[in-house]
Structure 1
Amino acid sequence: MTFNPSARTNPNRMTSGGRGRGTKIAAGGGGLGALVILAIVLLAGGDPSQVPGLSSGSGGAGGSGAGPGIEHCTTGEAANEDINCRIGATAESLDAIWSELLPGTYTPPGVHLFTGATSTGCGNATSAVGPFYCPADYTTYFDTDFFDVLARQFGASTGPLAQQYVVAHEFGHHIQNVLGDLRKSREDPRGPESGAVRAELQADCYGGIWAHYADKTPLPGMSEPFLLPLSDQDIADALSAAEAVGDDRIQESTTGQVNPESWTHGSSAQRQQWFLTGYRTGQVSACDAFAAPDLG
């Protein structure tokens, strides 16, 4: 998937560098490395200092990490060439779509890029945590080195939609937060039918909804959409990323065993299925994983 090269994008949609915040509870996203522990500990209301890469300190003003330059992220062409710009342009696309789907309810979350470490409302995070959404400060956080890990260690595609899927998934957690559903994941934090798994699958489904509309929703004030038409390869790229962050795939690759009772994100097949549900229907109502008797 590529952006219309002539599209105008706003680098101010993102922030970059360190930040100073307090300590609350974070919602896991991609599911790699410390994110598996993150969902178990933080979604259960635990101590962030127990999570590798996420400590409970509030951090000083400005935080300790650097961030990539984003001033040049002003066009669709830049978004096609630079992953940092791609995150910002994807965020603008998500804003346009969710503002139409949830008028009067959707408020854009923050989008913060960092390198190495940053301070958040959910604790001090390092790159080991991976992308995540912090409901305490309504912000999504990305260290884009994560996408290299996703491809190199877990076999995900390096295609643009694989990366945009992750951004759309984190925005999915923000949608859950504004709709009051994110708290349900904390009430039942692990297991194959748990609230945590249902929250992750719903966020995948919301990511699929974005893909459904992404090549149809026009740029603000323009008739052309943000993105050029989706191809079969684009969808395959997104499904590759969804497969890479399934609990069974991660457990098997890291421990050689699969234990569904410790799942927090769902299996690879489930994550692909729920993304496709959102993509094929484009309907928010189709994404109610909390009411689903069968998660697939």
Structure 2
Amino acid sequence: MKHTGGRGTRRALLAIGVAVTTLTASCANEVEGELRSEGDIAGLPITHFESGLKASAPQPQLNVENLTQSEEDRLAVASIADVSEFWQEQFPNHFNAEFQPVSKLMSYDPNTDNFEVCGATVEEVAMNAFYCPSEDLVAWDRGILLPLLRERFGPMAVVTVLGHEFGHAVQYRLGEQSGIDEQTPTIVKEQQADCFTGAYFRWIAEGHSEYFEVSTSEGLNQVLASLFFIRDAPGHSAAADGAHGTAFDRTYAFQLGFENDATKCAAIDLADIESRITERPFSPNDTNEGDLSINADTLGLLQMSLDDSFSEAGVPSPQIVAEGGSCPNGAATPPVSYCQDTNTVTVDMTALAELGQPIDREAELTGQEGGGLGDFAAFAEVVSRYVQGIQVGLGIPVDNANAGLRTACLVGAWTAAIDQEGALLRPSPGDLDEAIAELLLPRSLIAADINGHPAVNGFARIGALRQGYFNGSGACSSEYP
């Protein structure tokens, strides 16, 4: 985030409906953050099982150059066979043409191989998987990229990456139907490919795949985490050649395909993307690449920003206090808790500051632990508890199935509302990605109810944040009543 130095603008935010329901104050100590399992995921039931290659999966009959018996190649070839079956079925249904198989498949290991792939050495395409239009080729790095993805995020991360690359092959087969040509900006191609991947995963989740099964809880979380991992760095421009989008942009496109179908993906164009893209360069006053320290001064700015944003709610503003993050007479959800009896948001400053440390991208890319989740992840946890207090003041239940998602939605609405000239605090490039990193944690507080119970699924949590960001606080009550 950035402190603009301004005095703030009075832009009332809250427009959520008031439920005539009496709240019962919590009286427990620190909770374990059990997941709430009510609801569905884009119309599908919430499921829990180990996602990956089915024991009954057939042996793919594909010609792959430089293939090995490694687990990565086994997953990759099954992914290619599976996504090919998806497009052989879906392409005629949606685009009135037969799907032509990709001409060439290749596996490579930058650690040991020494040859060229699509005009580049394998060393130059390390940590990559790609579609090469000139050769109608899909290739993947089995030596560095796929092992890292599988170890960090599970087998469905490999399926995600190769499903995405097949999305590019689909674009070239669609031609004018996808609006893609040599002049099309990279970001359009990438958003379409992410969307096509979402449509493919919907097909898997519905049980149509011979090769894979994916749960709508932990399995989809693996997918979204891998999209988060392969994101552009904060400050990158969406107009740059090679831009793939922020994690927020990439998960948006994936969810669009999952919730709709491939025709929606092919309709993505530059005008659509420019109306919603969050990837942008840093502005001159984005000091420290948009990372503020988490301390008493910045929490004071956050207090003023929130009070300003929710000024027309007509209820007493919760006060942010550095009192350890626990509630003596209520549920504790450290590092931040909303204490209903005192109408305070109590913070463990040390733990919150640790969470707010910048993401260590180098450690992330090498599979190591390090850094925090960024300043916005920390601020958003505080905002989530603050809006709990606003909802309590309005008589809106904050301990039911929708409370966590409504809260994440309000965090998104606040983020969009302060993204304006003159705002005391403004989001910086990459801030929404920091929120997504927090939302994908098992114990996410941004999408948790007053007792710290988060919504069960990262897909639903990110969708709620997105709903508020794009559609405002009014959507939070209509979507999560």
TM-score bucket (shorter structure) = 0.5 to 0.7
Q: What is the rounded CA distance, in whole Å, between the counterparts of 1:118 and 1:208 in structure 2?
A: 33
In the alignment, what sits opposite 1:158? 153
Shift of 1:113: 0.8
Q: For 2:77, what is the secondary structure of its paired residue?
A: helix
Unaligned runs of 5+ in 1: 18-66, 71-81, 189-194, 220-224
Superposition pairs of residues 73-152 of structure 1, within 5 angstroms: 82-103=71-92, 104-109=97-102, 110-116=104-110, 117-120=114-117, 122-129=118-125, 130-144=128-142, 145-149=144-148
Which of 264, 286, 305 is residue 285 of structure 1 equivalent to? 264
In the alignment, what sits opposite 1:186? 182
- 1:165–1:238 Cα contact (<8 Å) kept: yes
Q: Structure 2: which amino acid aligns with 1:3?
A: L
In the alignment, what sits opposite 1:8? 58
Q: Structure 2: which amino acid aligns with 1:107?
A: Q
With over 3 angstroms needed to count, the CA separation of the structure-2 counterparts of 1:106 and 1:258, relative to structure 1, is same
| Rg larger for | 2
Shift of 1:149: 5.0
Which of 229, 242, 262 is residue 240 of structure 2 equivalent to? 262
Cα-to-partner distance string for 1:41-86 (whole Å, 9 max, x where unaligned)? xxxxxxxxxxxxxxxxxxxxxxxxxx5237xxxxxxxxxxx22111
Q: 1:176 aligned to 2:176?
A: no
Q: What is the rounded CA distance, in whole Å, between the counterparts of 2:148 and 2:214 in structure 1?
A: 28
Q: What is the rounded CA distance, in whole Å, between the counterparts of 2:124 and 2:154 in structure 1?
A: 22
Q: What is the rounded CA distance, in whole Å, between the counterparts of 2:91 and 2:105 in structure 1?
A: 19
Cα-to-partner distance string for 1:226-251 (whole Å, 9 max, x where unaligned)? 3234231111111111112222x3xx
Q: What is the rounded CA distance, in whole Å, between the counterparts of 1:3 and 1:148 in structure 2?
A: 16
In the alignment, what sits opposite 2:376? none
Percent identity of equivalent pairs: 20
Q: 1:206 aligned to 2:196?
A: yes
- 2:192–2:266 Cα contact (<8 Å) kept: yes
- 1:246–1:271 Cα contact (<8 Å) kept: yes
Shift of 1:292: 4.9
- 1:278–1:286 Cα contact (<8 Å) kept: yes
Q: For 2:57, what is the secondary structure of its paired residue?
A: coil
Q: Structure 2: which amino acid aligns with 1:4?
A: K
With over 3 angstroms needed to count, the CA separation of the structure-2 counterparts of 1:200 and 1:96, relative to structure 1, is same
Q: For 1:167, what is the secondary structure of its paired residue?
A: helix
- 1:2–1:228 Cα contact (<8 Å) kept: yes
With over 3 angstroms needed to count, the CA separation of the structure-2 counterparts of 1:16 and 1:69, relative to structure 1, is farther
Cα-to-partner distance string for 1:186-235 (whole Å, 9 max, x where unaligned)? 315xxxxxx2101101000011111010244656xxxxx43234231111
TM-score, length of structure 2 as denominator length: 0.40
Superposition pairs of residues 215-294 of structure 1, within 5 angstroms: 215-216=205-206, 218=208, 225-247=210-232, 249=233, 252=234, 257-262=235-240, 264-290=243-269, 292-293=271-272, 294=275
Cα-to-partner distance string for 1:108-153 (whole Å, 9 max, x where unaligned)? 2132111224434x3133144211111112110011221345589x
Superposition pairs of residues 30-109 of structure 1, within 5 angstroms: 67-69=67-69, 82-103=71-92, 104-109=97-102
* Alignment: residue pair count: 212
Shift of 1:169: 0.3
TM-score, length of structure 1 as denominator length: 0.63
